[in-house]
Copies of this chain bind each other. A is one copy, B any other.
Amino acid sequence: MSEYTVDEIMCATLAARFRDGDEVCNGMASFIPVAAIMLARRTHAPGLVWLAGAAGLDPRPDRVPASTLEAPLWRDSVMYLEQFSDFWHYAQNGRNLGIFCVGAAQLDMYGNANNSVIGSDYHAPKVRLPGTAGLGDMGSLGKRLFYWNTNHNPRSLVERVDFRSAAGYLDGGDERERLGLGPGPEVVVTNLAVLDFEPESKRMRLVSVHPGATVEQVQEATGFELLLPDGDVPETTPPTDEQVRLLREEIDPDGLCKREAGVK
């Protein structure tokens, strides 16, 4: 089996979720999702539609750039979508741009996200986070949310977010459905494991653990009780030699994903 690093298994896992013809957006400071998109487009999903930074359509950066919300990310784009009059008119419409890859400072057992404040008082926070930005919309607009987290720990994966700045499955069950919010969080890819949401309760569920990690470690690193799949918990499929080569030599030669994942 090939040598690979944690950012590489995260990229390969995210990439495998993209089907040819899917339409995906990336957000700020998102090296791993951008590398995953570039990897999918170079392998099994050449027709994956990528709206880079929600602005540049099907660009061809020669590598993962120093910023995922700045030129040269948009190099060779076939269209620039103006955010106010173009992007949000397409994105609010369920027919387009179905997948949004995003990170969150806090994510809870029902996939609700918090990028607003740490602490109990919104107006006098212990920590002021950057803000909800597009996630506050995407969570309510029926998008398939692909969460990623390079630091799986009980402070980032919590039983209940301090503040709900994006809607996941709310308090679980059919609450989201009753509000008519459509599809929601679909997967969480972390540095330790892959998780999804159990269809009935909408509680976070372990899908697979990365080779080298154990179910116990993942549970310990999680701030709430994880649901488990029936039978044994499988291992996450590791990246192939070719995927690793593409990531290291062509897609991310500068190792920005490794820096993001804290790989020495």
Question: Is A120 located at the chain interface by the 8 A CB criterion?
Answer: no
- Can you name 3 A-B pairs with beta carbons within 8 Å? A82-B85, A84-B85, A85-B85
| Complex contacts, A82 vs chain B, CB 8 Å | 85
Tell me which residues from 80 to 110 in chain A have a Cβ below 8 Å from any Cβ of chain B: 82, 84-85
| Complex contacts, A85 vs chain B, CB 8 Å | 82, 84-85
| Complex contacts, A84 vs chain B, CB 8 Å | 85
Measured between alpha carbons, how far is A54 from B248 in the docked complex, in Å? 54
Q: A-side binding surface: helix, strand, loop or mixed?
A: helix
Chain A contact residue count (CB 8 A cutoff): 3
Min CB distance, A90 to chain B, in Å?
Answer: 14
Tell me which residues from 44 to 92 in chain A have a Cβ below 8 Å from any Cβ of chain B: 82, 84-85
> Nearest 3 pairs between A and B by C-beta?
A85-B85, A84-B85, A82-B85
Measured between alpha carbons, how far is A85 from B82 in the docked complex, in Å? 11
Min CB distance, A218 to chain B, in Å?
Answer: 48
Min CB distance, A85 to chain B, in Å?
Answer: 4
Min CB distance, A55 to chain B, in Å?
Answer: 16
> Which chain B residue has the least Cβ–Cβ distance from A86?
B85
> Which chain B residue has the least Cβ–Cβ distance from A84?
B85
Min CB distance, A91 to chain B, in Å?
Answer: 16
Measured between alpha carbons, how far is A60 from B87 in the docked complex, in Å? 34
Min CB distance, A232 to chain B, in Å?
Answer: 55
Min CB distance, A262 to chain B, in Å?
Answer: 43
Min CB distance, A2 to chain B, in Å?
Answer: 50
Min CB distance, A228 to chain B, in Å?
Answer: 50
Measured between alpha carbons, how far is A82 from B85 in the docked complex, in Å? 11
Measured between alpha carbons, how far is A85 from B89 in the docked complex, in Å? 11
Min CB distance, A5 to chain B, in Å?
Answer: 45
> Which chain B residue has the least Cβ–Cβ distance from A85?
B85
Measured between alpha carbons, how far is A85 from B86 in the docked complex, in Å? 9
Min CB distance, A89 to chain B, in Å?
Answer: 9
Measured between alpha carbons, how far is A119 from B43 in the docked complex, in Å? 67
Measured between alpha carbons, how far is A108 from B84 in the docked complex, in Å? 41
Measured between alpha carbons, how far is A111 from B66 in the docked complex, in Å? 62
Min CB distance, A88 to chain B, in Å?
Answer: 11
Min CB distance, A87 to chain B, in Å?
Answer: 12
Interface mask (A130-167 → B, CB under 8 Å = 1, otherwise 0): 00000000000000000000000000000000000000
Measured between alpha carbons, how far is A84 from B82 in the docked complex, in Å? 14
Min CB distance, A235 to chain B, in Å?
Answer: 50
